[in-house]
Amino acid sequence: MNDSQFDYDLLVLGSGPGGEGAAMQATKGGMRVAVAERYTQIGGGCTHWGTIPSKALRYTITSTMKTLQSPIFQELGVHVSPSLAQLQRGTQAIIAKQVSMRQSFYERNNVPVLRGNARFLDQHTITIGGCDPIRAKHFVIATGSRPFHPEGVDFDHPRIFDSDTVLNMPPQPGSMAIYGAGVIGTEYASMFRNMGIKVNLINTRAKLLEFLDDEIIDALAYHLRDQGVILRHNEEMERIEGTDDGVVLHLVSGKRLKTDTLLWANGRTGNTDELGLETIPLEANSRGQLEVDEQFQTSVPHIYAVGDVIGFPALASAAYTQGRAAAMHMLGKIDGNLRINDIPTGIYTSPEISSVGKTERELTAAKVPYEVGHSLFRSLARAQITGETTGMLKILFHRDTLEILGVHCFGANASEIVHIGQAIMSQPEGRNTLEYFTETTFNYPTMAEAYRVAALNGMNRLF
């Protein structure tokens, strides 16, 4: 089909991280690109309901509580309890800055943002908000996800929230039940407990965040309990009963929990139900997610999908990289998947968690002869100065070749610290070893020094 028959070379559905990554990469490669966005502002759930507002609030809570608990403030007799509304006041300004910055990307690159719900009419044609059909040679579906809403749970009840609505919660509750102990559930459990809210965290599995290294999981569980969070594992909801003065969670085990509010944090659904996929034809799974190959192509080769709408890992960071990879594939760069197997986790509990590479569990199952190097943050001068001594860095390495196999961090700035290890892991064979850390001079005092301490600790285990 002749390109002149198309209005655009690429039409991206959604302006979150995945859509932005695809649009910017494609337009830099010379493609005619447009973006469809149904919300009043660009940025997607990442900017407006998820990553940015929740992390901004987390930072405010953490820094405010740390200040109020400092010996100086205690000595001065400063005793205040900021409300959730007060702690959130700066969030809207941050969101506005993000929207303005991202809007400028589209304007500078002459990428029009078309407002309204996009719906496929056929494999190359969509309508936006019911307006005139628009034809495109390629599509990237980057419509994101929303909290999964099971039948029988009344999300219109003023005391029952999901992760999109919880930040608009009215006056601070005294207690909260969080159903679902995945990344979102554990992050909010940590955040709200830091505000003094009594938290019950209900986990449908035997462990928290089972994809993490076991030692990190144990550390997280210990510190959540130490903060006062009540963890309940292997539980399943029977029903949720909203009352005038609280919410009663009835569990299959027979337990009943009554709290002031409830946050549902168990699963997400891809935003595909209004796209008219039946006209393509393309079918989403039971959670509204699309299946893709390594190049992010759906079963219809010129239609790609990236970000939360394809499921795991459902990270803003991964979505942006996936969007760029999809665009590079369209531009003829077959190897455009951009290290999709090298995506670090970043979990913003207090303290935060980040990891990249293999876990001890995986290496043991694969019979890889590995060893471990540890560095406890309490032994680092920088951590002692800042008062953030909870946490550790662990390096997993091959005991014969010294190749770095995994880096796992739990503690302040973990999501930043992990990238040092990630950079060395990606070096060519022979340069991706523990010796980089034993032979490199690190600034002192820094948190990065944890790598030298952990590497020397690991070396001492060899014989």
- Strand, coil or helix: what is 374? strand
pLDDT band (50, 70, 90) for residue 149:
very high
CA distances from 106 to 26, 42, 103, 127, 128 (A): 12, 10, 5, 21, 18
**Residue 185 annotated as part of some ligand binding site:** yes
Helix (H) / strand (E) element for 45: namely helix 44-48
The whole-number pLDDT of residue 35 equals 97
The reply to whether domains 160-265 and 351-459 share a CATH topology is: no
Contact 141, 14 (CB under 8 A): yes
Average confidence (pLDDT) over 310-323: 93
**Residue 366 annotated as part of some ligand binding site:** no
**Residue 254 annotated as part of some ligand binding site:** no
The CATH classification of domain 3-147+269-330, taken from the options 1.10.10.60, 3.50.50.60, 1.10.600.10, 3.30.56.10: 3.50.50.60
pLDDT digits (tens, 9 = 90+) for 419-433: 999 999 999 999 999
**Residue 180 annotated as part of some ligand binding site:** yes
Other C-beta atoms closer than 10 Å to the C-beta of 113 total 17
Contact 15, 37 (CB under 8 A): yes
**Residue 145 annotated as part of some ligand binding site:** yes
Contact 13, 139 (CB under 8 A): yes
**Residue 33 annotated as part of some ligand binding site:** no
pLDDT band (50, 70, 90) for residue 336:
low
pLDDT band (50, 70, 90) for residue 69:
confident
Contact 367, 430 (CB under 8 A): no
160-265: CATH topology is: FAD/NAD(P)-binding domain (3.50.50)
**Residue 342 annotated as part of some ligand binding site:** no
307 pLDDT exceeds 90?
yes
Show me where the domains of the chain are located. 3-147+269-330, 160-265, 351-459
What average pLDDT does the chain have? Answer: 93
**Residue 458 annotated as part of some ligand binding site:** no
Contact 458, 373 (CB under 8 A): yes
Higher-scoring residue by pLDDT: 49, 75: 49
Average confidence (pLDDT) over 439-448: 96
Give the span between the Cα atoms of 310 and 265, in whole angstroms. 19
Amino acid (one-letter) located at 374: H
**Residue 406 annotated as part of some ligand binding site:** no
Give the span between the Cα atoms of 124 and 379, in whole angstroms. 60
pLDDT digits (tens, 9 = 90+) for 107-118: 999 999 999 999
- Strand, coil or helix: what is 46? helix
Counting other chains too, the contacts that 241-246 makes at CB distance below 8 Å and 24 or more residues apart are 242/154, 242/157, 242/159, 242/160, 243/159, 246/159
Give the span between the Cα atoms of 452 and 435, in whole angstroms. 9
351-459: CATH topology is: Enolase-like; domain 1 (3.30.390)
Please give the structure tokens belonging to residue 181.
Answer: 């102990």
Please give the structure tokens belonging to residue 57.
Answer: 């609030």
**Residue 314 annotated as part of some ligand binding site:** no
